[in-house]
Structure 1
Amino acid sequence: MVLEAISKNFFLFLSNNRLLDRLAKKWGPKFGADKIVGGVTFEEAVPLIQQLNHQGLQVTVDHLGEFVNSAKEARNRSQECMNTIRTISENGLNSEVSLKLTSLGLDINEDVVMENMEQILETAEKHDVIVTIDMEDSSRCERTLEIYKRLKTKYYNLGTVIQSYLYRSDSDLDELNECNPYLRLVKGAYKESGKVAFPDKSMVDDNLKHLIKKNLLNGHYTAIASHDDKIIDFTKKLAEEENISKDRFEFQMLYGMRNQTQLELAKEGYTVRVYLPYGDDWYGYFMRRMAERPANIAFAIKGVFSK
């Protein structure tokens, strides 16, 4: 348990190293990035999405990048997202889009991020594509949820994320209840203070189970984003006991991880969505995946030395 905590803190520390980030953009494929990232451009990711769809898997794509500091770059990110939505539609892909508000101007001002989000959601509704706002660290949680609630009054095709390691998540679920939310429930992957987050993994797991049950029994579509067999089995058992049909929830997993489990769940009739990031700004994402699960470290090492 101690070693796991040290490992997590180490990789979260690395995730914020700017020098390593710059080196990673240059040498990414040699460190296994090509095994968890769909490509540098969305066009490179399209064949992968088609392959995943052919296997019975659905997808959500994310253009990697966060913490944008200029309105111009935020607009460029917004344009990239809209182009991705159009490409999804043109190619008949079974894919949604995920995005981070910091990539669209959250840290600049609210007008910038709202303008970009409204343009994206107008495009998404035109092409019948669902957009999910990813959750970031706790300092941005309140603003993210407030923006989500404002946009949800106007746009139906919008989801967001709740992280079970935060104390506030149960009350957040209550506040979102009236929005008829489409929620992705996750454990969480940022380094947080014990003042805002559960310090113990078992508490995080228990809270995730609580949130899954609560949101499903509230009647809202729920995406369970976890590679944890115990969480998956809990959800399946809950659905059976409460007579919750399989079209009311889905399992989500990362591209390149637990591939066989993804296929097995799909064959059992469950909706399985693969989170497929693309872009060259992959480093922070990769390090947070290492922090989440010790098993991911072995996966990455294997990627370095495999052909």
Structure 2
Amino acid sequence: MEAISKNFFLYLSNNKVLDRLAKRFGTRFGADKIVGGETFSQAIPLIKQLNHDGLQVTVDHLGEFVESEAESRKRSQECIETIQAIAHHQLNSEVSLKLTSLGLDISKEIVMENMERILQEAERHDITVTIDMEDSTRCGATIEIYKALKEKYRNLGTVIQAYLHRSHEDVEELHAYDPYLRLVKGAYKESGKVAFVDKPEVDANLKRLIKKNLLNGHYTAIASHDDAIIKFTKELVKEHGISKDHFEFQMLYGMRNQTQYDLLKEGYTVRVYMPYGDDWYGYFMRRLAERPANIAFAIKGIFSK
């Protein structure tokens, strides 16, 4: 039943008609519980509160699959303005972004030009930018763009998804670039030809990737709500004497809040991934697919005043 529910919500995540309806009706269908707002200004007070509590943040302006050069430049400018706002309000926040929102599907030249503008601004304010990973068809291009930019910009990270068969080789290949990697399980619907389909296999691979990147000596973000993954990481770093300032735990805004604060009390760095924007529909559906309990957020949003 859980597999059916996951496939159903992943299918809905790609429905463009429902996406347009979602923008019309706003985030009140439960998405406001896991999205910081429809504008960055709405997210600022939430980020300030999280920072006050000791939590760090990374923000992501939701949106993907841009089809015009003009729209990609608009998205890059919005990202630059977000970086400027983070600096102005002295927020403890990084920035995450998707390359498809910056023109990846249009041309490499456009996405590189947009990324250069963003990273130059981020460098001026010493703010780290992480390139989110999207589906498997864009993984190779994302890795290549990351490598090209990492040779020039220091504060740059990317994401590796444990459910892809290629991820072990990607982590090995990126070793030479001293990568800052966010390691996740993965949230897109993929074929068994390119991805592990069974949860135990994905979990085992995520553990392998965490161990590999940490023992390679690179800063690692363990982005998981899974207690078993968290426990594994704690035991691994203790066994190998890895300092707590060499890794962090990352969790989604609005989910497992108590666990976030418990880890914080134990002295670990915890970063909250906070998306914002009116293009929230695909993100929301993928979160429902990941964890059936999240459906309660939607039901509460629909029926609450």
Which range moves more in the overlay, 199-208 or 23-32? 23-32
**Ranges in structure 2 where 5+ consecutive residues have no aligned partner:** none
Counterpart of 1:109 in structure 2 is 107
TM-superposition CA deviations, 1:179-222 (whole Å, max 9, x none): 00000000000000000000101100000001001100000000
Q: Is the 8 A contact 2:27 2:280 kept in 1?
A: no
Q: Partners of 1:245 and 1:306 in 2: how far apart?
A: 45
Instruction: For 2:8 and 2:272, locate their aligned partners in 1 and report how far apart those are by CA, in whole Å.
Output: 27
> Per-residue displacement from partner, 1:11-67 (whole Å, max 9, x unpaired)?
000001111111111223331111111111111111110000001100000000000
The code of the aligned residue for 1:85 comes to I
1:275 aligns with 2:282: no
How far the C-alpha of 1:303 sits from its partner, in A, is 3.6
1:1-307 mapped onto 2 (5 Å cutoff): 3-306=1-304
Deviation at 1:292, TM superposition (A): 1.0
Separation in 1, partners of 2:50, 2:129: 19
How far did 1:306 drift?
Answer: 4.2
Q: Deviations over 1:87-109 (max 9, x none)?
A: 10011100000000000000000
Determine the C-alpha separation between the residues in 1 that align with 2:293 and 2:202.
18
Cα deviation, residue 266, structure 1: 0.8
Count of residue pairs the alignment pairs up: 305
SS in 1 for 2:274: strand
Partner deviation per Cα, 1:275-306 (whole Å, 9 max, x = no partner): 00110000000000111112222333234334
CA distance in 1, matches of 2:287, 2:10: 9
TM-score, structure 2 length as denominator?
Answer: 0.98
Measured on the aligned residues, the alpha-carbon RMSD in Å equals 0.9
- Matched AA of 1:221: Y
When normalised by structure 1's length, the TM-score is 0.98
SS of residue paired to 2:275: strand
SS of corresponding position for 2:181: strand
Percent identical across equivalent pairs?
76
Amino acid at match of 2:144: E
